[in-house]
Amino acid sequence: MPLLLLISIILYWILSNAPGGPLAPYLQNPHITAADIARLKHNFGLDQPLPVRYLRWLGMVVQGDLGYSTSNSETVVQAIVERLPATILLTGTSFAVSLLIGVSIGIFAAIKPYSLVDYTVTTLAFFGQSMPVFWFALMLQLAFAVTGITAFGYHFALPSAGISSTDDVDIGDRLEHLILPTIVLSLVYIATWSRFTRSSMLEVIRTDYMRTAAAKGLDKLTIILRHGLKNALIPVVTIIALSLPGLFAGAVVTETIFAWPGMGRLFFNALGQFDFSLLMGYLLIVSTLVVFFNLVADVAYAWLDPRVKYD
């Protein structure tokens, strides 16, 4: 809580350095006199010193009011709530995909270390971590949307922008639009989570209780899944919890490139006009998520692993 307060103070201070603000359109208007400007300034509370403005803003935020978004002509809360479902759909799908693929290929790699499978997985992980996300997105658009890929007698083509082609909800169409952004957003997490799962699993496989389980004559699959996975996943859960807010914030690039009508694109579009309330609101929300998931990671770690004790 004190951390969040500190974050909000620093963010408010940084963002208040931007010129313009809600009065920018009036400053160029020759019919508006300096006295009008002063009166408007007073009405917006902009003649107050920074700490006073911050406290007023904070008072509003505590009541759930993030202010008025000038670039969207609605309140910030409204603007964000409208875009939230699209963002949750995209980040949620990407999360599920990364979890499924990342963790399972990590396990496969760890079961046969230094095998062909392992080398493939680690190399792919390196590529995934080194890939500039926006370029990967462009290349997928080039391959699937611009030219399309012909294979096995079919012509694969996917939409490169937007969330749907029609106004009514059509699941198949929605899924088609979801594929490319999901691949782009998941790539980094598949890479990091698989590397992490692999090393964590490798450590567990070398432990005594795994050898005991093997000595009992259990088959390999049971040992890996029942005894190994449980322990190997404890640190993985922490990493996943820590990277969730990043998934959310990383959607800025993906949503912008694929014209996905979510929060990330809302934020990006607000940059050009410097929509103070909206930028402030977005940054506050993502920072709160970071702080929250840090806490979740700590709690989950202690809960999953009884050996860990916090004072």
- In the complex, the residues that contact another protein under the rule CB under 8 A are 3, 6-7, 10-11, 14-15, 17-20, 114, 126-127, 129-136, 138-139, 141-142, 146-147, 199, 245-246, 248-250, 252-253, 256, 267-268, 271-272, 274, 279, 282-283, 286-287, 290-291, 294
Q: Smallest distance, Å, CB 40 to another protein?
A: 19
| Complex with another protein: residue 24 or 52, whichever CB lies closer | 24
| Complex with another protein: residue 227 or 255, whichever CB lies closer | 255
* Location of structure tokens 């004559």: 217
Q: Smallest distance, Å, CB 287 to another protein?
A: 5
- Tokens standing for residue 274: 């410097």
- Are the CB atoms for 69 and 276 separated by under 8 Å? no
Q: Smallest distance, Å, CB 152 to another protein?
A: 23
* Location of structure tokens 């990590």: 106
| Complex with another protein: residue 6 or 100, whichever CB lies closer | 6
Q: Smallest distance, Å, CB 11 to another protein?
A: 7
Q: Smallest distance, Å, CB 135 to another protein?
A: 3
Q: Smallest distance, Å, CB 291 to another protein?
A: 5
| Complex with another protein: residue 32 or 291, whichever CB lies closer | 291
Q: Smallest distance, Å, CB 47 to another protein?
A: 21
| Complex with another protein: residue 145 or 229, whichever CB lies closer | 145
- Residue 228's nearest CA partner among 247, 212, 251 is 212
Q: Smallest distance, Å, CB 24 to another protein?
A: 9
- Residue 13, CA atoms < 13 Å, CB-side half-sphere: 7
The dihedrals phi and psi of 68, each to the nearest 5 degrees, come to -110, 130
Q: Measuring CA to CA, how many Å separate 151 from each of 16, 29, 136, 148, 155?
A: 54, 60, 21, 10, 6
| Complex with another protein: residue 113 or 261, whichever CB lies closer | 113
Number of Cβ atoms within 10 Å of the Cβ of 237: 16
| Complex with another protein: residue 4 or 210, whichever CB lies closer | 4
| Complex with another protein: residue 223 or 285, whichever CB lies closer | 285
Task: Provide CB contacts within 8 A for 283, sequence distance 6+.
Answer: 11, 15
* Location of structure tokens 């995934």: 128
